[in-house]
Amino acid sequence: RRAGDSTVDVLIFGVENSLWLGQQFAADLKRVFPRLNILAMSSNWVLGMLQTAQGHIEPRNFTIGASSFALTPGAIVLALSHSGT
């Protein structure tokens, strides 16, 4: 990884308990693979960033915005759900 490269290697997202579990997993994974950029986010935030249809609402006041949110080619994305769906 080059200095200043902020692309995401592993993106983990979920809601409520699933998000909490994802954040814990991201912290553990970061300890094992310190050079990876690992991000755990709310699924609502991720959807807000990825949707481009008319009427979508972009999340505001986050440290990561639409201009700085990018996945590394070959990134791993994990969607967590404790509801089974």
Q: What is the pLDDT of residues 6-31, one digit of tens each?
A: 789 999 999 888 899 999 999 999 99
Residue with the bigger pLDDT between 85 and 47: it is: 47
Tell me: the pLDDT tens digits for 32-61?
999 999 999 988 888 777 777 776 666 666
Which of 24-28, 62-66, 77-81 shows the lowest per-residue confidence on average (mean pLDDT)? 62-66
Rg (CA), the chain: 13
pLDDT(83) > 80: no
Tokens describing residue 78: 């994990």
49 φ/ψ angles, rounded to the nearest 5 degrees: -75, -35
pLDDT at 31: 97
**Assigned token pair, 75:** 């990134």
- Tell me, rounded to whole angstroms, the distance of Cα 2 from its chain centroid: 20
The pLDDT of residue 38 is: 94
